[in-house]
Structure 1
Amino acid sequence: MQQTHSAPEVTEGDRSPRFPRLRELVSHRRGFSDSEKTAAALLLVATVLALVWANLPLGSSYDDFWHSTVSLQVGTNTLGLDFRSLVNEGLMTLFFFVVGLEVKREFALGELSTWSRAVVPVSAAIAGLAIPAVIFLLINGSGESSHAWGVVISSDTAFLLGALAIVGPRLPGHLRTFLLALAVVDDIGALAVIAIFYTDEVHIIPLIVAAVALVGIWAMRYVTVAQGPLYVVLSIAVWVALLASGVQPTLGGVAIALLIPVYAPRRREVERAAELSRAFRQSPNPVYAQAAVRGLLNSVSVNDRLHTLYIPYTSYLILPVFALANAGVHLSPETLGAAIRSPLTWGVVAGLVVGKLVGITGITALIRAMKLGVLAPGLTLGRVGGGAALSGIGFTISLFIIDLAIDDPQLQDEARVGVLAASLIAFLLGWAVFRIVDRVQPPSRMSLVLARDVDPARDHIRGPVDAPLTLVEYGDFECPFCSRATGSIDEVRAHFGDSLRYVWRHLPLTRVHPHALLAARASEAAANQGKFFELAPLMFGHQDALELDDLLGYAASLDLDLDRFEEDMRSSEVVSRVRDDAIDAELMDVHSTPTFFICGKRHSGPYDAATLIRELYESGQASAPAPGGPGSGGSTPQNAGLG
């Protein structure tokens, strides 16, 4: 009987949750973390507060507050910034630092680490940068407003993910991954535009000082003590030098992040950390405590540590404060009337709403038509169009560039009205596109058929690759039901012989099987050395021993190259392959193991050999067994199933 992991039922005595419809809406958006939803909510609340504050009948308290000046004097040198500049040039440096960490990780280990995976989102992001700017310049080709074309080029990742969680498809599948990869390239383009086009004057000597400090940050990878304080001192030196040089100092955050090393955890550091922890457990003292902490920190890259440390501050504090400081537009009848008549406002709206939708969707369709790249399973042009519409929510960097590109306060307000209007229109447009797509192709229909066709170059197949019958299993190496199902698979393969191809795909249920993900990656590492179906039965036979040392022992027993095996387990190719299978399963609303697909159609109910054999015949692609052939006592093929 197929096992389903579900939440416990609510008893009659339990209190009904408040706002049940809202809770149901958000909870059904699987694939989104609570932190993403919270960050988007805080950003929205801060925006509303800024608008309310700026329009209170209290005179100009909003502008007066954010133009209050803070000064720091050292000897005869004075550094003076108003509160808004302190936020935009000071706090936002940390935001851009976190963006830089994400960019570095994506290109080193993530979705953009291989060109075959990156070609579509990279091309879509470039088009999503260029087309909005062209549309803006068609409307604002001259005058001071023309310099503000950078306002329309960038999407707001926090708002984008929050909006996707609210109005996007219930099962986002690969769409969320696609939009995240696109957002990384989008951020790179926006930062390059700020550095090249919105830097007025450069002073060489402070720039050289900043470069020397950056070299020192790069060299920090070879320092084993006092890394934290040294990073802080050198980072402050970079920021101050860039501020003095005339270059936008927030770009220092990106430059610093790109110099910080990123790598997957290495076994020797992990083992060293475990040894130090054991030593502290046996003899707790301050020396061993410091050594254990240092060992744990050294077992993961500086990039990962700093990203984990700072992402809550940027998401929950810095971005809301930035919105509070920059989104306050005086929505007086005069301002709104001027905005409605302003080509600047309409250029921003058209650039963000139309430009993002046309640019991202159009280039994606073109690349697919020219067969230069392919979309992931379930990532239809309709879904890409919905995500492209939501990408018109250009908030953080758009407001940031307004402050850099426009000096006239009235024009700034007109541009801000355009950004706010475009963000609202993009949200509603994305909602409409997703609703139309869901009506044309209901999600329930997608769960009944295999999302991705069998690919001999990628899938793990037993039997002839061109066999008329196909049995696909989504499984988990730590799942006891998957282990027991290997016997059924053996019988089915013996029955059909060369008429059947059996395919394994990953669905590690990490919430109930803590070692399943590691085992899945180990199987892919073994596959790179041609031993997938040799390692799989060893893991099924020892489901209580799937730690890294155990997996290395099984690999050694198969005479695998252990250094390559361990390196492949951490590689972006292996990580992406396992993740892709899991995302495909989520797209089809598969959440239990084992789940079978018979000739492309989802199987429900028992998965004993007799039931699977009967359904393979009922698929219409299998003929009745010949006397003495498979299924009538014939011989069993070698290496049947996974066992």
Structure 2
Amino acid sequence: MIIAVIKKLLPRRREISLNLILPFQQFFKKEASSSLLLIGTTLLALIWANSPYAETYHRFWETEIAISFGHLGFAKTMREWINEGLMSIFFFTVGLEIKREILVGELASVKKALLPVGAAIGGMLVPALIYFFINRGLPSSTGWGIPMATDIAFALGAIYILGRRIPTGIRVFLSAFAIVDDLGAVFVIALFYTSGVVFHYLLISLLIMFILGLANFFQVRKTFFYAVLGLFLWFSILGSGLHATVAGIIVAMFIPARGKYDTDRFLEDTGYFLGEFQCPPEGCGRSILLNQRHLNAVQSIELACHHVETPLQRLEHSLHPWVAFVVVPVFALANAGITFGEVELSRAFSDPLTLGIILGLVVGKPLGISLSSFIFVKSGLASLPKSIRWEHILGASMLGGIGFTMSLFIAGLSFPAGEILNYSKLGIITASLISGIVGLSFLYLFSFKKNP
């Protein structure tokens, strides 16, 4: 926003430098670009866990770190702090995305929302049922939530490879149902992967949520205020027995989605301050350092940009690069490592746990997403986006089988460290790889046939 305003102030010959900056920023805003780093950290975790230094991989992530305030204290391993602490920031950004989509995006109206919501419901239920049917009566049956989610970064990264062969609408559809998938996964974690509830901590959490609600009602826009309350909420939810990452989603729902200025006020103010620049025919040059009036005008324009931007947009914009390029890759590094020497592959791939995950993601996801979408469209409840064919829906639903990040997260909640957790990781990585290759190949072949 500020760049757009500054472009008006500068001569045309300076626009090229700004145009060089913008694509770089847009690159870092794409979910797709983070998938390359995610692949790299996953490979690094696998190499480290199978190197001569494999023992250091497990010992490092199992290092215990304690945080205490007087008599109140929490001691967790480094991996647990990442999974419950750092990943709360990931869930916070997911919450911001969900809120934005509900307010102004693909989930803003019932008609627009029904297709991705229906697709997501089918894409969660069918894989979970396949997994549960294969593992019914076994200790591994508790992992039924593992094949329910879609990794939006990997899925968009895969579809990004096809470029303009794929219509924009399918990217929007994939993003929308993956966001609903994430919301569903959060509810599953909160409701079914909680060991027990400590009620006095839960009451403290409810009190903090009430304060957050009041702050939103009175349009408190200071992000630091929400950060402090969010930290207290995280500790209280952690103490309550619920999974602490739920705090991220909750806080995101209370972040204001209105700026201090509306667009008309912003245009009026910036128009006035732009009028403060009275320059000679040869241009202003570097007048900001010398001309106090120009400096005041620039600072006022910057303040107006801050006031018109909503806290929700500001936080999503500022946190997204950190989540995409730091939080999720660190999570993958800490959780994706499997020491294959400890796993008998023939036994692992015939185990109901591994089979349930692979079939749930590779078969259940495309079946559930495509079938639900078909039912919603044919019943008249929803309609296919413009230029989207059923081949696109099927291809995108195959990519929906890339569970990875959220699947690894739920696996860590489902099983203790050991053979059973290694089997689940092996199933997740294998299924995600198969889903990515099959989905990309399918979309490429059909786009090639239709768009020679």
SS at match of 2:160: helix
The aligned counterpart of 1:381 is: 390
Query: Which residue, out of 181, 204, 207, partners 1:209?
Result: 204
The aligned counterpart of 1:274 is: 270
SS at match of 2:318: helix
SS at match of 2:67: strand
Cα deviation 1:543-593 (Å, max 9, x = unaligned) = xxxxxxxxxxxxxxxxxxxxxxxxxxxxxxxxxxxxxxxxxxxxxxxxxxx
The aligned counterpart of 1:416 is: 425
CA contact (8 A) 1:329 1:416 kept: yes
CA contact (8 A) 2:343 2:419 kept: no
CA distance in 1, matches of 2:65, 2:36: 30
Query: Which residue, out of 366, 371, 378, partners 1:357?
Result: 366
CA contact (8 A) 2:266 2:308 kept: yes
The aligned counterpart of 2:52 is: 57
The aligned counterpart of 1:427 is: 436
- Is 1:443 aligned to residue 451 of structure 2? yes
| Paired AA for residue 330 in structure 1 | T
- Is 1:188 aligned to residue 183 of structure 2? yes
CA contact (8 A) 1:269 1:298 kept: no
SS at match of 1:80: strand
CA distance in 2, matches of 1:225, 1:295: 17
CA distance in 2, matches of 1:159, 1:371: 31
Offset of 1:287 from its aligned partner? Answer: 9.3
Offset of 1:54 from its aligned partner? Answer: 0.6
CA contact (8 A) 2:27 2:33 kept: no
The aligned counterpart of 1:251 is: 246
CA distance in 2, matches of 1:381, 1:250: 36
Offset of 1:268 from its aligned partner? Answer: 4.0
Cα 1:261–1:126 change in 2 (3 A) is same
Matches within 5 A, 1:219-298: 219-221=214-216, 227-263=222-258, 266-271=262-267, 274=270, 283=292, 293-298=302-307
Offset of 1:312 from its aligned partner? Answer: 0.3
Cα 1:289–1:124 change in 2 (3 A) is same
Q: What is the percent sequence identity of the aligned residues?
A: 34
| Paired AA for residue 117 in structure 2 | V
CA distance in 2, matches of 1:192, 1:210: 17
The aligned counterpart of 1:100 is: 95
Matches within 5 A, 1:283-432: 283=292, 293-332=302-341, 334-432=343-441
Offset of 1:74 from its aligned partner? Answer: 2.1
| Larger RCO (CA under 8 A, 6+ residues apart) | 2
CA distance in 2, matches of 1:275, 1:229: 30
SS at match of 1:79: strand
Cα 1:68–1:408 change in 2 (3 A) is closer
Offset of 1:84 from its aligned partner? Answer: 0.5
CA distance in 1, matches of 2:409, 2:269: 43
CA distance in 1, matches of 2:67, 2:263: 47
CA distance in 2, matches of 1:269, 1:63: 56
CA distance in 2, matches of 1:129, 1:406: 20
- Is 1:140 aligned to residue 117 of structure 2? no
Cα 1:226–1:139 change in 2 (3 A) is closer
Which blocks of at least 5 consecutive residues in structure 2 are unaligned?
1-22, 278-287
Larger Rg, first or second structure (1 or 2) = 1
| Paired AA for residue 131 in structure 2 | F
Offset of 1:59 from its aligned partner? Answer: 4.5
RMSD: 2.7
CA contact (8 A) 2:111 2:381 kept: no
Query: Which residue, out of 173, 178, 181, partners 2:173?
Result: 178
Matches within 5 A, 1:461-472: none
The aligned counterpart of 1:520 is: none
CA distance in 1, matches of 2:294, 2:424: 60
Query: Which residue, out of 80, 89, 108, partners 1:85?
Result: 80
Cα 1:306–1:358 change in 2 (3 A) is same
Matches within 5 A, 1:574-613: none
| Paired AA for residue 207 in structure 2 | V
SS at match of 1:113: coil
Offset of 1:263 from its aligned partner? Answer: 4.4
Offset of 1:79 from its aligned partner? Answer: 1.9
Offset of 1:362 from its aligned partner? Answer: 1.3
Equivalenced residues, count:
414
Offset of 1:388 from its aligned partner? Answer: 0.5
SS at match of 1:60: helix
Cα deviation 1:39-89 (Å, max 9, x = unaligned) = 010000010000001111225111100000111222233221211011111
- Is 1:39 aligned to residue 34 of structure 2? yes
Cα deviation 1:199-221 (Å, max 9, x = unaligned) = 11111111221222222223334
Cα deviation 1:346-374 (Å, max 9, x = unaligned) = 00000011011101111222223333321
Query: Which residue, out of 47, 69, 72, partners 1:74?
Result: 69
Q: TM-score, normalized by length of structure 1? A: 0.61
The aligned counterpart of 2:284 is: none
Cα 1:183–1:37 change in 2 (3 A) is closer
Cα 1:272–1:223 change in 2 (3 A) is farther
CA distance in 2, matches of 1:232, 1:117: 32
Cα 1:283–1:33 change in 2 (3 A) is closer
The aligned counterpart of 1:515 is: none
Cα 1:293–1:335 change in 2 (3 A) is farther
Offset of 1:338 from its aligned partner? Answer: 3.0
SS at match of 2:115: helix
Cα deviation 1:365-415 (Å, max 9, x = unaligned) = 222333332111221111111110011000111000111111251100000
CA distance in 2, matches of 1:275, 1:443: 46
